[in-house]
Structure 1
Amino acid sequence: MTNQRIDVLDVLRGVAIMGTLGTNIWIFTDPGGPAGVLDALAQPGAVETFLRFLTNGKFLALLTLLFGVGLELQYRSARRRGAPWPGWYLWRAALLFAEGLIHYFLIFEFDVLMGYAVTSMIVACLIGRSDRVVRAWIIGVGVVFAVVIGLLTAALSAGRDTAAGPASGEDTLFSAGSYAEQVAARAELFVLYRLEAVFIVPLGIVLFLLGSRLMRAGVFERSERGAALRRKIMIVGLGAGVPLNLLTSYAGEDWFLVDRYLLPPLVALGLLGLVATLAHRVSGAPGPVRRGLTAVGRTALSCYVFQNLVGAALCYGWGLGLAARLDGLRPWWVPVAWAGVCLLFMTLASLWLRRFDRGPLELLWQWAYQAPQRSRRGPERAPLR
């Protein structure tokens, strides 16, 4: 890979990480915390619905596609070195699962790293198969996933009249509860909060494999072939996906699953093509925005975890408690909070990379990944004289 293509991937990762915060920020700024998400499914208002539409599911799907690209790069690296595959990659996936588990309990209920770890273990066994086999998996899992989403959506619509009304009383765990109480709640409601993995894993299989194959097809190349492929996915994703996704965003809570998991991957493809195209067209020294996005992309794991920690510290009762204090300014203050956190991490990531080549969690993660390999090789012996 050329340096230019690596830069494009870093920019895309930065966009995806900042975009996932654009979804999560609505959870942090809700006085009810994650519990308020379910109540928010009932149309929160035209302005807030549109603001949620801009990020909901799209950047999660973009991040998932980029995980597939990363898996493809790991596969290529192992093949170049003649290393067995999946081999030590499964240890990487196990570390990612552990990282996600810690992130879930200590910081954020809707962690995606655990789901990505499980998905990567499955896809690692498929990525080296023939294009015919991979295509069959993409189509097969994708069709089953779409059918299940359709059936669940129909069930939600049919059961609307018999569904129980919203629970009475206000949940103050996140607006007034202590940090320890929130950790205890995550442990108690582990199964409930991890239900999203039921959707993330099959969707991840499709998008991981699709990201791998897009990489092989040359979507990131600065060439006519790459440009043509980017134009195609922009037409599909932005031309068809955006209008349909906007429609489902205003269609009501019954369409939540379609709005969150089915249409956003189409939009994510368009975003991938658009951002890559714009990144290739920029010439000369990168500006501050691109430098910031690139820095976030190079420290993606650290930024993902720590931006959620900052969001919790700003909004929850054990921190500054802004969710309850500024609830009267909702939804207007929410995008301002998102922009402020993004600016903070673009700055911090840029400063960190002046001294280190990886983010803090990436450095720790790399050490944990290499430690058992060094132990297995044993101590190096001094050369004989």
Structure 2
Amino acid sequence: MTDRRIDALDVLRGVAIMGTLGTNIWIFTDPGGPAAVFDALAQPGAVESFLRFLTNGKFLALLTLLFGVGLELQYRSARRRGTPWPGWYLWRAALLFAEGLIHYFLIFEFDVLMGYAITSMIVAYLIGRSDRAVRAWMIGVGSTFVVAIGLLTAVLLAQQDTAADPASAPGTLFSQGSYGEQVAARFELFGLYRLEAVFIIPMGVVLFLLGSRLTRAGVFEDSGRGAALRRRLMILGLGVGAPLNLLTSFAGEGWFLVDRYLLPPLVALGLLGLVTAIVHRMSGAPGPLRRGLTAVGRTALSCYVFQNLAGAVLCYGWGLGLAARLDGLRPWWVPVAWAVICVLFMTLASLWLRRHDRGPLELVWQWAYRAPQRSRREGERASASR
């Protein structure tokens, strides 16, 4: 790996983290909180629909592709060292699941880390197989996923023609409830809030494997081969996927699943190609934006958790309660809240990295990952000395 290639990955991670906040900020700023997601999915106004279109599902898919890239790099590292695979990688995945579980209960209902952890355990056993086998898995899982989305979309479209029940009054748990009450609700509604994993895991299997294979195909290389591949991704994602995704964003609630899970991965491929191409064309010292994105990319786990914590503090009733106070200014104040949180964690990440080489949660995670390995080595040395 070249330095430039590492730079591209850090910038991409930073873009993906900021983009996921662009989706989640609509949840935080709704007075009904995460519970409002399970309402009738009523079509918002034109301005809000367009703003949601800019982020909905796209950066979740981009982050998923990048997890696949990271898994490929871990696999390569294990092969170079001659260590068993998946071996200790499964412990990494278990720690990620534990991190996601804590994040879910204490901070945010729609955590993605648990889904990524389960997906990584599955893909860890596939990534080293032949290209033919990997293609078969991608086609099989991807086709099943597309068919399932299609059937569910048909059901949603059919239900649009039936009389809808009167809308219920919005809940007050997130606008007026205490922090403890919200945590208790996450325990009580665990199955409901974790329902998205049904879509994230199969989508993740395909995108993890695709991220791995794109890395092998040279998508991050500063070469003619890499540039050609990036151009094809931009044409597919931004030339084909984005216009179709814009249509589904305004097509009504019946197209929600297509709009969230089917078309955004295509757009994410275009974003992957575009951001990488821009990084390769940059010369000279990086500016403030690139430095901030790189810092976020290097502290991605910490920034992901921090942005959700910041959103909760700003918007929920036990914090500043801005979701209820500024509901009359929706959707205009929502992008402002997103920008404030992004600038905040970009600044904090940059300051933190002046003294540390990893983010705070990354340091804790690295210690937890290495602790059992150290204990095992010490035990082996003690046994050998007897």
The two structures have a TM-score, normalised by structure 2, of 0.97
Alpha-carbon contact 1:39-1:166 (below 8 Å) kept: no
Q: Which residue of 2 aligns with 1:176?
A: 176
Q: Which residue of 2 aligns with 1:371?
A: 371
SS in 2 for 1:357: coil
SS in 1 for 2:197: helix
Using the TM superposition, give the Cα deviation of residue 181 of structure 1 relative to its aligned residue in structure 2, in angstroms. 0.4
Using the TM superposition, give the Cα deviation of residue 166 of structure 1 relative to its aligned residue in structure 2, in angstroms. 4.7
Aligned equivalents of 1:330 and 1:39: distance in 2? 18
Q: Which residue of 1 aligns with 2:32?
A: 32
Using the TM superposition, give the Cα deviation of residue 36 of structure 1 relative to its aligned residue in structure 2, in angstroms. 1.7
SS in 2 for 1:338: helix
SS in 2 for 1:127: coil
Structure 2 spans left out of the alignment, 5+ residues: none
Q: Which residue of 2 aligns with 1:98?
A: 98
What is the percentage of aligned positions where both structures have the same residue? 85
Paired letter, 1:77: S
Q: Which residue of 2 aligns with 1:249?
A: 249
Aligned equivalents of 2:228 and 2:21: distance in 1? 31
Aligned equivalents of 2:175 and 2:60: distance in 1? 26
Q: Which residue of 2 aligns with 1:220?
A: 220
Aligned equivalents of 1:110 and 1:323: distance in 2? 18
SS in 1 for 2:138: helix
Using the TM superposition, give the Cα deviation of residue 165 of structure 1 relative to its aligned residue in structure 2, in angstroms. 1.9
Aligned equivalents of 1:40 and 1:189: distance in 2? 18
Alpha-carbon contact 2:22-2:55 (below 8 Å) kept: yes
Paired letter, 2:45: G
Paired letter, 2:342: C
Matches within 5 A, 1:119-268: 119-162=119-162, 164-268=164-268
Using the TM superposition, give the Cα deviation of residue 163 of structure 1 relative to its aligned residue in structure 2, in angstroms. 6.3
Q: Which residue of 1 aligns with 2:21?
A: 21
Aligned equivalents of 2:160 and 2:307: distance in 1? 36
Paired letter, 1:208: F
Q: Which residue of 1 aligns with 2:89?
A: 89
Aligned equivalents of 1:244 and 1:163: distance in 2? 28
**Residue deviations 1:349-382, cap 9 Å, x none?**
000000000000000000000000001111668x
Aligned equivalents of 1:277 and 1:161: distance in 2? 45
Alpha-carbon contact 2:36-2:170 (below 8 Å) kept: no
CA change 1:166–1:311 in 2 (3 A) is farther
Using the TM superposition, give the Cα deviation of residue 157 of structure 1 relative to its aligned residue in structure 2, in angstroms. 1.1
Aligned equivalents of 2:33 and 2:166: distance in 1? 16
Q: Which residue of 1 aligns with 2:44?
A: 44
Aligned equivalents of 1:169 and 1:300: distance in 2? 37
Matched, 1:340 2:343: no
SS in 1 for 2:195: helix
Paired letter, 2:118: V
Matches within 5 A, 1:61-76: 61-76=61-76
Alpha-carbon contact 1:72-1:127 (below 8 Å) kept: yes
Matches within 5 A, 1:237-316: 237-316=237-316
Alpha-carbon contact 1:27-1:34 (below 8 Å) kept: yes
Aligned equivalents of 1:234 and 1:84: distance in 2? 37
Aligned equivalents of 1:94 and 1:197: distance in 2? 16
Aligned equivalents of 2:375 and 2:135: distance in 1? 39
Aligned equivalents of 2:36 and 2:332: distance in 1? 18
SS in 1 for 2:160: coil
Matched, 1:330 2:365: no
Q: Which residue of 1 aligns with 2:350?
A: 350
Aligned equivalents of 1:332 and 1:288: distance in 2? 26
SS in 2 for 1:195: coil
Aligned equivalents of 1:197 and 1:147: distance in 2? 17
Using the TM superposition, give the Cα deviation of residue 162 of structure 1 relative to its aligned residue in structure 2, in angstroms. 4.0
Aligned equivalents of 2:240 and 2:39: distance in 1? 29
**Residue deviations 1:169-198, cap 9 Å, x none?**
220000000000000111110000000000
The two structures have a TM-score, normalised by structure 1, of 0.97
Moved more, 4-13 or 36-45: 36-45
Aligned equivalents of 1:293 and 1:137: distance in 2? 34
Aligned equivalents of 1:34 and 1:193: distance in 2? 9
Output the aligned Cα RMSD: 1.2
**Residue deviations 1:191-213, cap 9 Å, x none?**
00000000000000000000000
Aligned equivalents of 2:39 and 2:185: distance in 1? 18
Aligned equivalents of 2:166 and 2:80: distance in 1? 56
CA change 1:196–1:257 in 2 (3 A) is same
Paired letter, 1:119: T
Alpha-carbon contact 2:13-2:63 (below 8 Å) kept: yes
Q: Which residue of 2 aligns with 1:59?
A: 59
